[in-house]
Structure 1
Amino acid sequence: MTDGVSRTDMTGRVVLITGANTGIGRATAMQLAEQGAELYLACRTAERTRPVVEEITEATGRKPHYLQLDLGDLESVRECAQTFLAERKPLHVLLNNAGVGGRRGSTASGFELAFGINHVGHFLLTELLRDKLVESAPARVVTVASTVHFNARGIDFEAVRKPTASRTGLPEYAVSKLANVLFTQELARRLEGTGVTTYAVHPGAVASDVWRGVPWPIRPLIKLFMRSTEEGAATSVYCATAPELATETGGYYDDCAAKEPSKYATRELAAELWRRSEEWVADYR
């Protein structure tokens, strides 16, 4: 893997990271903190976030802020955004990192579990913080996607409003990751000229808690062939900080380099996903 972690000085830059209490998010938070960023960690519980807050504080002398966020509950997403905006701080990087894979069910807001958390929750959070990002420009939105998005052959817009249909949850996970790539592309088009740039990243196959729902004995076997969370964080940190990406937007990145996304990541599907997503979250805007 390319050592793409830029040592850009992030002093004075405010970064909000979802799912930063574990896995790739935790490693990303630590690396950005070491570069001087002021961090807001948006996670489900303060108890589970406390260890990373203490770890970062001890390592850097700067204590991250905690925000309560349940991406499966759109009311929680709205409250998280409102809490951050009440701080009256700029927002220079929004890092949509949290995610689930290999689990079945539906979210509190009525979406297929992976799609609701990985896409819909982040869509609403980004929309609620969009004006703040523009006001703070230059700013970036980095969304953790996956090479697994190549396995999706489009989006069944009826299926994403129902509980997980497959036995493994992995086909639905692929759809949610395609949605992440499409969201990044359409957001770039809508933010053109504002100074806010967008990036979808594949962190590599990483042994993180995103796979906690995959049943035994499959889970430990697949993790044998995965990267560490520190290695997985490299592309997220690169897209969040690298000066050479300041004028790039809407792309898909793997191993700290731009790559061509799936042929199903079309402008037409991105626009349709955006239209439907706006309708889904309208009551929480």
Structure 2
Amino acid sequence: MGDLSGRTFLVSGANTGIGKETARSLAGRGARVVLAGRSEERTRAAMTEIADETGNSDLDYLRLDLGDLASVRSAAETFLAGGEPLHVLINNAGLAGARGMTESGFELAFGTNHVGTYLFTELLRDHIVASGPGRIVNVASTGHYRPKGIDWDAVRQPTVTRTAFDEYCVSKLANVLHAQELGRRLEGTGVTTYSLHPGTIASDVWREVPFGLRHVMKLFMKSTEDGARTSLYCATSPDVADHTGRYYDNRREKQPSKVATPELAAELWERTEAWVGSTKGA
């Protein structure tokens, strides 16, 4: 990655798993890292660990609950009020295996993994452009190949499937589509966008899966260190500095699902924009 001194990164879901490893690697290269998450206690514990290991204490905590749009707006407002630049936003936070609805009235995975992420990104977008050149990275999943499309009614209702895996995959398709359309909208600004599959990783994204099944699943998964590599590649590598809106797997560009068309990306954007309301300022 090279020296990242003078660059500010914001990583959501950074107190555990892939997000924590991403923050650790960035801090180890001298970056200022803002760790966003729901639990201040867990995040500050991660910050202490990262500072002790890397010698870099230029870390900060930002409270963020992506399932609650009021929390998303508050988090963006708090960050912007600090007046510091933001060069790279890594939308890492997400959940899988949980059923229900978000505080803001969306299917739980879709509302957390896509809607909250979309709003947070939009509220910070102009600031990233002003701080540029910059990057916006969405951690998606190979699961995005599974859906045949997006059921616009289903994403506004409680989870239907027992495992919530189908809903999770729809939310990951939305992450890919979001990066595509955002890349198109940011052309010429100096800010580039990326979506990626981190690998099948033994991380806390599976925390809602029943314990026995979760334990067996993790036996066949890669480490969180492996999982952070493609996120770091998209966030820092000069090899992809001129690319935007593309999808990556194992630090290589890969063709996304055939469902991930510009038309669906534009429709998702328009619908999400209408759902969340104003994104002008926090």
State the shift of 1:217 in Å: 2.0
- The equivalent residue for 1:248 is 243
Question: Partners of 1:215 and 1:37 in 2: how far apart?
Answer: 37
The C-alpha deviation readout for 1:109-157, integer Å capped at 9, x for no partner, is: 0100000010000100000001101101110000100001001111001
- The equivalent residue for 1:14 is 8
Question: Partners of 1:284 and 1:273 in 2: how far apart?
Answer: 16
State the shift of 1:105 in Å: 0.6
- The equivalent residue for 1:103 is 98
**SS of structure 2 residue aligned to 1:105:** coil
Does residue 27 (structure 1) correspond to residue 21 (structure 2)? The answer is yes
Q: CA RMSD in A?
A: 0.9
- The equivalent residue for 1:43 is 37
**Unaligned segments of structure 2, at least 5 residues:** none
- The equivalent residue for 2:129 is 134
Preserved CA contact (<8 Å) 2:122 2:279: no
Does residue 228 (structure 1) correspond to residue 223 (structure 2)? The answer is yes
Question: Partners of 1:125 and 1:48 in 2: how far apart?
Answer: 21
Q: Which moved more, 1:240-249 or 1:213-222?
A: 213-222
Question: Partners of 1:237 and 1:283 in 2: how far apart?
Answer: 31
> Among residues 166, 176, 179, which one is paired with 1:181 in the alignment?
176
State the shift of 1:218 in Å: 1.4
Q: TM-score, normalised by structure 1?
A: 0.96
> Among residues 195, 206, 215, which one is paired with 1:200 in the alignment?
195
Preserved CA contact (<8 Å) 1:81 1:128: yes
**SS of structure 1 residue aligned to 2:120:** helix
**SS of structure 1 residue aligned to 2:211:** coil
Preserved CA contact (<8 Å) 2:138 2:194: yes
- The equivalent residue for 2:275 is 280
Preserved CA contact (<8 Å) 1:75 1:284: no
User: Which amino acid letter does the alignment assign opposite residue 240 of structure 1?
Assistant: A
Does residue 65 (structure 1) correspond to residue 24 (structure 2)? The answer is no
Q: TM-score, normalised by structure 2?
A: 0.97
**SS of structure 1 residue aligned to 2:104:** coil
> Given the superposition, is the C-alpha separation of residues 284 and 129 from structure 1 closer, same or farther in structure 2, using an over 3 Å criterion?
closer
Count of aligned pairs = 279
> Among residues 163, 185, 193, which one is paired with 1:190 in the alignment?
185
Does residue 76 (structure 1) correspond to residue 71 (structure 2)? The answer is yes
State the shift of 1:9 in Å: 1.4
Preserved CA contact (<8 Å) 1:74 1:284: no
Does residue 257 (structure 1) correspond to residue 275 (structure 2)? The answer is no
> Among residues 89, 97, 114, which one is paired with 1:94 in the alignment?
89
- The equivalent residue for 1:151 is 146
- The equivalent residue for 1:214 is 209
**SS of structure 2 residue aligned to 1:39:** strand
State the shift of 1:283 in Å: 4.7
**Unaligned segments of structure 1, at least 5 residues:** 1-6
State the shift of 1:36 in Å: 1.0
- The equivalent residue for 1:239 is 234
**SS of structure 2 residue aligned to 1:217:** helix
Question: Partners of 2:279 and 2:237 in 1: how far apart?
Answer: 33
Question: Partners of 2:38 and 2:129 in 1: how far apart?
Answer: 26
Q: Equivalent pairs: percent with the same residue?
A: 61
> Among residues 29, 42, 50, which one is paired with 1:56 in the alignment?
50
Question: Partners of 1:174 and 1:60 in 2: how far apart?
Answer: 35
Preserved CA contact (<8 Å) 2:123 2:279: no
State the shift of 1:195 in Å: 0.3
